[in-house]
Amino acid sequence: MSPRGRGILFAAGAAVLAWVLVRALLRLDAFGSFPAPYGRLLAALTLAAHRGLNAPTAVTFDFRGLDTLGEEFILFSAVTGIGLVSENAREQGGGRAPERQDRPERSGAVRGVGYLVFGAGALFGLQVAAHALLTPGGGFQGGSILASAWFLLYLALGWRVFDRLTCEAPVELAESLGAATYALTGFLSMVLGGAFLENALPLGKQGSLFSGGSITLINAGVTIEVAAAFALVLTEMVRAALGTMTHQT
């Protein structure tokens, strides 16, 4: 297509998009209004069915729990694919591992700050994940924070120490168990005579850390799966980057 044709096509698409956006903005409700009956219904159901205070978590792991199960296994499949592609690339490259040297050498100050930030990040990730039904957050957010905190160890310690700490087999096992926890919780509900992913555990006290019944178990599995998945991806990224730099040098 010629530049003129692409310009005409872009202008037509932009005009349609602008028309849709303007109509949507003009039909917005007044600022501060909340004409959303489903929002009020879900908030009431969260308290009644799960004794939780954070409706989005109940929606994610119960009211649309089957969709979230699919999303979790999309992440699981993506990380599996990354691992297979990376392993195949290393085999084609003669299996050459990245250089196990701390380059440049980390100073004591960098290591100290790295330990401190790692500890704070890990605690924050656990807090976000554990309070899924009480405050904004949950397994996906908490797991991502935990993986990011783990990656700080590489920045603080360098590859040699980080590689020793990051044993792939246990991390891969944790990712698999975390993903399986979600599905097995659903099958447990069916074994006990309920629907798939229907609550099958005691709800606990409203507002407590262990309220929510099955959601608490599902959220723990998601936390483990997401943290392990991103840890594996970050490790592969570092290994590929160091392998590239070693080859170039």
Q: Is 1 part of any domain?
A: no
What confidence tens digit (pLDDT) does each residue in 20-76 have?
999 999 988 787 777 777 777 887 888 777 788 888 888 888 888 889 999 999 999
In this predicted structure, the answer to whether residue 124 has a pLDDT above a threshold of 80 is yes
123 assigned to some structural domain: yes
Structural domain contains residue 6: no
- Range in 91-95, 97-101, 141-145, 190-194 the model is least confident about: 97-101
> Residue 69 falls within a domain, yes or no?
yes
Residue 30 lies in a domain: no
Both tokens of 241, joined, read 């980057």
Q: In this predicted structure, what is the pLDDT of residue 102?
A: 46
pLDDT bucket at 249, cuts 50 / 70 / 90: very low
| pLDDT at 245 > cutoff 60 | no
Task: Return the structure tokens found at 237.
Answer: 């990224």
Q: Measuring CA to CA, which residue among 195, 212, 190, 194 is closest to residue 203? A: 212
Range of the domain at 107: 36-248
The total domain count for the chain is 1
Per DSSP, the residues of 99-121 read P-S-SSPPPHHHHHHHHHHHHHH
Does 28 map to a domain? no
Mean pLDDT of 75-102: 73
Residue 112 domain-assigned (yes or no): yes
pLDDT at position 143: 94
In a domain? residue 96: yes
Instruction: Indicate whether this model's pTM tops 0.75.
Output: yes
